[in-house]
Chains A and B, each alone.
Chain A
Amino acid sequence: MASYKLTEEGKEYLEKGLPEKNLVLLLDSMPQKTATLGKLIPKIKNFPIALKWALEKGWVMKKGDEIILMKPVPEEIPEEEALKKIAKGKEVDEEILKILIERNLVEKVTETYKAVEEALAKAGNVVEVLTHELLVTKLWKGRKFKPVDVVTVRKKLELNKISPGKRQPYLQFLSQIRKKLAEMGFIEMRGPTIETQFWNFDALYQPQNHPARDWWSTYIMKYPKFGNLPKKFTQAVKKAHEKGIAGSTGWGYRWDPRIAMKLMPRAHGTCLSARTLANKPKIPGKYFAIARCYRPDVIDASHGVEFNQVEGIVLGEDVNFKHLLGLLKQFAEEIAGAKDVKFIPDYYPFTEPSCQLSAKHPELGWIEFGGSGIFREELTKPLGIDVPVLAWGLGIDRLAMFKLKINDIRNLFSKDLNWLRRS
C-alpha cells in the first residue's frame, strides 16, 4: 500500500484542531450557544471551511446572520483521529482517507519525495545543491544550506570553464573590408576556386610559354586536368595573343587552346575581374572580390599556403589614370588609415600603365598597400569591353596582421584555440 503524509494544512489542523471543531467549541462556550457571523469570523481561522463542514455534519444551523449550535461537541472526531494516525505513519480507514485527500489535508507520498527525503537524511539533513526536486517536494523548508567557497574562483573554472562563442578574427576583419567596399559602391564578384588557365592567364593577356606567365609560380591540377573554353571569347583572345587586337602587335606566337584549357587553382583574384568583364558588367560600374588564392610559394612567416586577395575593377567611359590614383588614395585613407601616399611605377602583365601604392600607416610606417593599373586593351577588347577599366588589388594581410597583433602570416589561419578564444 502506498504511504501518505499530511499536507501543510493537515499539519496545521492536527496541531490546532479542525476548523469546524474550533467553531462548535467556540459556540459551546457562549451562554446562548449562538452567535452572529460578525462575531465569529474574526475569531475562527478558515471560517468558511469551518462553517461548511459544521453545517454538513449537522453540528450547527444557520438562521439569517445567526449560527446556532445544534449538537454537543463530539469527544472524538474521525478526521482528527485519522490525521494523528497518518502523522505517525499508521494506516487509516479508506473512506476517511478519501475525505482527507479531498480536503487536501493528506497527500500520497511520491517516489521523488521518498528519494529526496532519503538523500537529505544521508547528507545529514543539509541541502548541498538546490534542485528542482527539492523545490517541488518543499523538503528544503526548515533545512540548512551547506555553505560553499564563495571566494575562490580557480577551482570552479577548472571544472567548468566557460568559453564564449566567437568569430574567427581574420574572417571578421575580412567581413569589415567587404562591408567597407560595398559602402564605397563596389559590387562583390564570385568565381570558382579551380579555374581554367584561360581565365587565370589567357583572358588577362598573359602569353603562354613566356616569363610573364610565370611572373609568379602557380599550381597546376593533376585531376581534373582540363576544363572548357568559353566559345564566345576564345577566338578573340587567340587573336589578341597571336596577331594583336585594337592596334596591338600581339605577342606573336601560336596560341594553344590545350594550354588554356588546363585547370589550376586560382592564383590571383584578377580572374574574377576577367569573368565579370565577360559577363555584361554595368557601365559605369565598380566591382570587388575577396578571393582565396593559391601559389606554391616557400612557406614562411610572410607566405602562407593559401592567402586572400582583395581586388576589383572600375569601368567607365571617362575614367583615367588620375581617377585610379584618386581611388588608391581613398583606399589608403579609409582602409589603412594612412595620411600620406606614394605612387610608384610598377609592372603587371595585364595593366598599362601600372602603379604601386605605398601608404604611410600611422604605426607601421610606409607599407606597400596595393598594386593597380588600367587593364590593357588587349585584355578588355576581346571580352567585349570598350571603355577603360581601372584595376586594383590591396595587400590587406599586412594590415590584418597588424590589427590582430600577429607576426606570422600563417596565423591568420590560426590553429591555436587559446589564441582564438583570447582574440
Chain B
Amino acid sequence: MPTIEASYQDLCELIGRRIEIEELKELVNFAKCEIEEVEGDSLKIEAKDTNRPDLWSSEGIAREIRSRAFKPSFPEYEVKSSEVVVRVDKKVSKVRPYTVFAVVKNLKVTPAFLSQMIQLQEKIAGSLGRNRKEVAIGVYDFDKIKPPIKFTTVKPDGIKFIPLDFNEALTPREILEKHPKGKEFGHLLAGKKEYPIFIDARNEVLSLPPIINSEYSGKVTEETKNVFIECSGFNLKFLMPALNVMVTAMADRGGEICSVKVVYPDKTIVTPDLKPKKTFVDVSYVRKISGLDLSLDEICKLLEKANYKILKKGKKIELLYPAYRNDIMHQRDVVEDVIISYGYNKIRPEPLKMKVEGKVSEIELKTEKVEEMMVSLGFQEILSYTLTSKDNLFRKMNLKEEKVAEIENIISENWCVFRNWLLPSLMEFFANNQHVEYPQKIFEVGDVVLIDKKQETRTRDVRKLAVAIADSKVSYDDIVAVLDAFMSLVGAKYKLKASKHPSFIEGRTAEILVKGKAIGIIGEIHPSVLENWKLEMPIAAFEIDLSFIL
C-alpha cells in the first residue's frame, strides 16, 4: 500500500476550492485514500488501491474528488505529436526489451509539482514496477535533448557519462560500483554482458536504465519548461499505463502532452495512447450486486461522477473510461464505482435473513474441554508462537537436528522453523520466568507441524498437549499423577512403557500408549537439558498427541 506525502494547499488548489481538513478526510475516501497524519501543510496519505496508480498522487486524488464530490467532467486528454522518434536497437531485447515515451510541454514547474512527480515516479517504479524490475521511469529536461533518441546497449565500460548528483564521468560498470543507485539497483543488470542505454543525436547519454539518469539532461528543476518521459521494462502492458498515469498527472497541472514515435525492429508504436477505453455494465447486475434500487438515469449519473462517459444507455450501459486506468477487468469493477459514487454511508445496511445453523469445529470443542480439564488440575495455560529456532527445538533439547518445516526468507533465526513438538515452547516459558514463584505448573494445547509427504501441502498439523511442572523438588511420580488424572478425566485407558529419549533422564522416561499406539512421552527432563536452558529447577513433563480424543 503506497503511502504518499502531499501539500494540503496544493491539493485544494488542484481540486479547485478550499476544503476544511475534516471534510477533506472524508472526501479522500472517494479515491480509496486515508489521511493518516496532518502536520501543518503536509499530509501523509495512505493510498489503498494497489491497482490504481493514478490515485497515488495529489493530481489523481484531486481529479477523483473534483468529479465525485463537485462537478463531473470526463477527463479527456489531447495528444499532439512531438515529432520525436526513438529508435530501439534489437540488442536491447536481451536486457530490457521495451520502452515507451512522451513529451510534456509548457509546464510551470513548482516545488509541489516536482515533489509529486518524483514521488509518483518512485511509487510506480517501486510498487507496480516491482522495484524498477518491471517498470523504470526516467524524466528529463526535453530542451537539453537532441532527438532522435537511440535505445541500445553498451559494454560495461563502453561509455562514460556523469550520473545524476555526481560531478565526475563514470562508465556504467563504475556507476554500479560507486553510485548509491548503482549499488541499490545494480542487481537488476547482474550477469548482463551489455547494459541498456538511452543516447541522443549528439551522443549524450540520457540514462542507464533502470539505474540512473545523466546529470546533463536527467534533471528536472523549477527552470524546466518541457519534459521528456520514458518508461522501460519487459511488458508493454505495465509500461503503457505507467506512462499514462505520469503524463495525465502533469497535464492536470497544465502540461501539453505530445506523443513520441518508438520504432522497434519489427513494429512502430506511438506513445502515449490516451484514447479512452471501452467497457459496459448491465443495469440488472448493478442492482443485484449493490442491492440498491437505482434507475437507469441514476446509475448513469453515478457513473459520470466516477469519471466514466456514457456512450449508450440501455439495459446494458456502454461506457468509456480514461486510459490512465488499468484496473477494470469485469463489470464488477464498474459496479463498485457506482456504489462509491452513491456513498457507502448513504446506504441503509440490511440485516441478513438467513436461517442457517452455526457450529464450532469438533477439534476446537475438544480442545476447549482439554484446556478446562488441565485448569481444573491446577495448571496455568500458556500460548506460544508456532515459529521457533532450531536451537530451541534441537540443541537445547539434546536432540539431533532433523527435517522440519523451515522458512526461506526469515527475519530472525528465532523464528525460522515450525515447532514439531510443544515441550521446547514450555521450556522457553520456564526460562523466562525463573524469578516467579514456584511451583510453576503450566500447559499448552497447540498445533505442531509435521512433515508428511503424502499430504497436498507436504505437511500436517497435529494438535498436542504438553504439561510440565517445575519446582524445587519434582519427580516422575508427580507428573504421572497429573497424566493419570488427565486420562481419567478424558476417560481413556493408557499404559506406560519404559523408554529412552535424549531430553529426559534415562530410567525415568516412558512412552504413553493408548490402544497399543504410542501417543506421547513422559518423564523427568534431563539436567543437561535444564542446563541448556539455564534452568535451576527440576522439571517433569509429558506431551501427547490429542488425536486419540479428537
Interface residues of A (CB under 8 A from B): 161, 163-168, 170-171, 175, 178-179, 181-190, 192-196, 209, 211-212, 215, 219-224, 226-228, 230, 244, 246-253, 263, 265, 282, 284-286, 292, 294, 296-299, 305-306, 314, 316, 319-323, 325-330, 341-347, 349, 352-355, 374, 376-378, 388, 412-418, 420-421
A321 vs B2: C-alpha distance when bound (angstroms): 27
The answer to the question of B198 belonging to the interface, with a C-beta cut-off of 8 Å to chain A, is no
Q: Determine if A321 and B290 form an interchain contact, defined as CB atoms under 8 angstroms apart.
A: yes
A223 in contact with B360 (CB, 8 Å): no
A322, B457: Cβ atoms under 8 Å?
no
> Which chain B positions have C-beta within 8 A of A249?
328-330
Select from chain B the residue with minimum beta-carbon distance to A246.
Answer: B330
Task: Tell me whether B360 and A179 are in contact (CB under 8 A).
Answer: yes
Known: A165-B381, A325-B349, A374-B332. 9 other contacts (CB 8 A): A168-B382, A219-B410, A222-B408, A263-B458, A294-B387, A305-B385, A316-B352, A417-B429, A420-B382
Whole-angstrom distance between the Cβ of B390 and the nearest chain A Cβ: 12
B350 CB contacts on chain A under 8 angstroms = 322-323, 325-326
Q: Is the CB of A421 within 8 A of B331?
A: no
B407 touches A219 (CB 8 A): yes
Contact assessment for B406 and A221 in the assembled complex, using a CB-CB cutoff below 8 Å: yes
Please, how many angstroms separate the alpha-carbon atoms of A344 and B52 in the complex? Answer: 17
Q: Inside 8 A of B403's CB, which chain A residues have their CB?
A: 223
A166-B381, A223-B406, A417-B442 known; A230-B456 Cβ under 8 A: yes
Q: Is the CB of A178 within 8 A of B364?
A: yes
Smallest Cβ distance from B466 to chain A, in angstroms? Answer: 13
B429 closest partner in A (C-beta): A415
Q: Which residues of A contact B440 (CB under 8 A)?
A: 163, 417
Which residues of chain A are near B130, meaning CB under 8 Å?
209, 211
Find the B residue at minimum CB distance from A251: B329
CB distance from B36 to the nearest CB of A (A): 11
Decide if B384 is an interface residue (CB 8 Å cutoff): yes
Q: Is B458 within 8 A of A227, CB to CB?
A: yes
Nearest CB in chain B to that of A304: its residue: B385
Residue contact A347 to B429, C-beta cutoff 8 Å:
no
A188 to B349, CA, bound (A): 25
What are the residues of chain B within 8 A of A330 when measuring CB–CB? 351-352
B347 close to chain A: CB less than 8 A: yes
Give the interface segment out of B81-89, B162-170, B371-379, B504-512.
Answer: B371-379
- In angstroms, Cα B328 to Cα A252, docked, is 12
Residue pair A325, B375 in contact (C-beta under 8 Å): no
Choose one: B359, B375, B429, B456; the contact of A165 (CB below 8 Å).
Answer: B375
B437 in complex: contacting residue of A163, A165, A193, A282, CB < 8 Å:
A163
Contact B359 A187 (CB under 8 A): yes
User: Whose C-beta in chain A lies nearest to the C-beta of B346?
Assistant: A343
Q: How far is the CA of A115 from the CA of B117 in the complex (A)?
A: 96
A378-B329 in contact (CB<8A)? yes
Q: Which of A209, A296, A374 contacts B289 (CB 8 A)?
A: A374
Complexed CA–CA distance, A55 and B48 (Å): 111
5 A-B contacts, Cβ less than 8 Å apart? A212-B51, A220-B409, A227-B457, A246-B330, A345-B336
* B472 → A minimal CB distance (Å): 11
* Binary per-residue interface labels of chain B (117-143) against chain A in the complex, 1 for a CB within 8 Å, 0 otherwise: 000000000011010001000000000
Q: Given A247-B330, A325-B344, are A186 and B358 also a contact pair (CB < 8 Å)?
A: yes
B404 contact set on A, CB distance < 8 A: 223
Cβ of B291: which chain A residues have Cβ within 8 Å of it?
320-323
Q: A211-B130, A223-B406, A345-B340 are in contact. Are A171 and B459 (CB under 8 A)?
A: no
Contact partner, A185, options B235, B331, B357, Cβ 8 Å = B357
Name the residue of chain B whose CB is nearest to the CB of A376.
B332
A402 to B1, alpha carbons, bound, how many Å? 27
Q: Is B288 an interface residue (CB 8 A)?
A: yes
Alpha-carbon gap, A223 to B30, bound state (A): 44
CB-CB nearest 3 A-B residue pairs: A320-B291, A322-B291, A325-B349
The interface residues of chain B lying within 8 Å CB-to-CB of A187 are 356-359
B332 near A352 with CB under 8 A, answer: yes
Contact indicator B339/A353 (Cβ below 8 Å):
yes
C-alpha spacing A187/B364, complex, angstroms? 12
- Indicate if the CB atoms of B329 and A418 lie closer than 8 Å: no
A416 lies within 8 A of B359 (CB): no
**Neighbour of A353 across the interface among B336, B357, B411, CB < 8 A:** B336
Chain A residues within an 8 Å CB radius of B364: 175, 178, 188
Q: A354–B347 Cα gap in the complex (Å)?
A: 14
The answer to whether A228 and B381 have CB atoms under 8 Å apart is: no
Q: Are A188 and B361 in contact (CB under 8 A)?
A: yes
Chain B residues with Cβ under 8 A from A222's Cβ?
A: 406-408
B110: CB under 8 A from chain A?
A: no
Q: Is B160 an interface position by the 8 A CB rule?
A: no
User: Which of B30, B50, B375, B428 has the most chain A CB atoms inside 10 A of its CB?
Assistant: B50
